[in-house]
Amino acid sequence: MSEPRSIQSTISHIEGQDTTSWKALWTDFLSLIKIGIINSNLITTFAGFWLALYFTGQNFSWINFLLVMAGTALVIAGGCVINNWYDRDIDHVMSRTKTRPTITGTIPLNVVITMGVGFTILGLVLLYLTTPMAAVYGFFGWFVYVVLYTMWSKRKYTINTVVGSFSGAAPPLIGWAAVDPALHPAAFVLFLVMFIWQTPHFLSLAIRKREEYSNAGIPMLPVVYGNNITKRQILIYTICLLPLPFYFFSLGTVFLVFATLLNLGWLTIAVYGFKMKDDDRWAKWMFVYSLNYLTFFFVGLVIATLPIF
């Protein structure tokens, strides 16, 4: 009776290894496409899509919605995969990137670049099926991120964060263009919110990872000019966010008050950074707040336009 149990134990062990391997491969895949970036950008894509329906009075279309969300996700995934493929020579230096499959070798590099190109093309095709302009804005975001940011400015200039911000601000335009190719002025306000938001967000991360960026040879602002100059830039950008919610005055007083309080909260933390001695701790506060700010602001926009309001 002992032999069958031994065989069964061996089979279970092999099955367990296969399960573990698949889980590890899935984790690597999610790391490769930068699932966190995709998720946050899909929130802003949906907000753009939803507000376009609100301002134009068009009816919700599930087909259009699924196409723009899937298309945007694939274009972003394609750009992120190519970014990982290109940055494989420096990612091993930084703790948050050294476990990516392009470094560990769990996914072959030829497969990685094929995935990046394939996701991009498929995503643009899906966006084109909504409207050609949605695909144009999708390609704009991809081109800025892959070419102008990853391959050009990231390793040369401290303005790399600003350059990359154009890419990160594209998803609301993609979502809006899927409904209204002409775009309403409110769409460009969403673009501005995302464009301005990204600099405090990423500079806060740069302060926390200053030494790692320095070792990798990436000229982030705190690496080249120090934390104090970086704090001033963060403060300026958070101030620039203050007037933007008022462009959505038609959504009602509740949203204006809510969005203004969000801005004032972030501004308060930014100002406090000049008094706080622990820069890393302060930068963590700023970074975490920025993530919550993005979610609350765009979810607030959607809620404010629901019929019950």
pLDDT at 31 over 70: yes
pLDDT tier at 3, thresholds 50, 70, 90: very low
pLDDT at 210 over 50: yes
Radius of gyration of the CA atoms of the chain, in A: 22
pTM score, two decimals? Answer: 0.91
Average model confidence (pLDDT) across the chain = 93
Instruction: Give the model confidence (pLDDT) of 152-177 as tens digits.
Output: 999 999 999 999 999 999 999 999 99
Query: Which pLDDT score is estimated for 24?
Result: 87
Query: Which pLDDT score is estimated for 20?
Result: 74
Tokens of residue 187, six digits:
């769409």
Instruction: Give the model confidence (pLDDT) of 32-51 as tens digits.
Output: 999 999 999 999 999 999 99
Q: What is the mean pLDDT of residues 210-220?
A: 95
The DSSP secondary-structure symbol of 306 reads S
Query: Which pLDDT score is estimated for 197?
Result: 97
pLDDT tier at 14, thresholds 50, 70, 90: very low
Q: What is the mean pLDDT of residues 93-101?
A: 88
Q: What is the mean pLDDT of residues 211-224?
A: 95
Nearest to 238 by CA among 283, 208, 268: 268
CATH architecture of 25-304: Orthogonal Bundle (1.10)
Query: Which pLDDT score is estimated for 128?
Result: 98
Measured between alpha carbons, how far is 16 from 283 in angstroms, rounded to an integer? 41
Q: What is the mean pLDDT of residues 113-125?
A: 98
Burial (CB count within 10 angstroms: exposed 0-12, middle 13-18, buried 19+), residue 23? exposed
pLDDT at 12 over 80: no
pLDDT tier at 231, thresholds 50, 70, 90: very high
Handedness of CA 164, 165, 167, 171 (dihedral sign): positive
Least confident of 68-77, 175-184, 274-283, 299-308: 299-308
pLDDT tier at 11, thresholds 50, 70, 90: very low
The DSSP secondary-structure symbol of 144 reads I
Query: Which pLDDT score is estimated for 308?
Result: 65
Handedness of CA 263, 38, 178, 165 (dihedral sign): positive
Instruction: Give the model confidence (pLDDT) of 267-289 as tens digits.
Output: 999 999 999 999 999 999 999 99
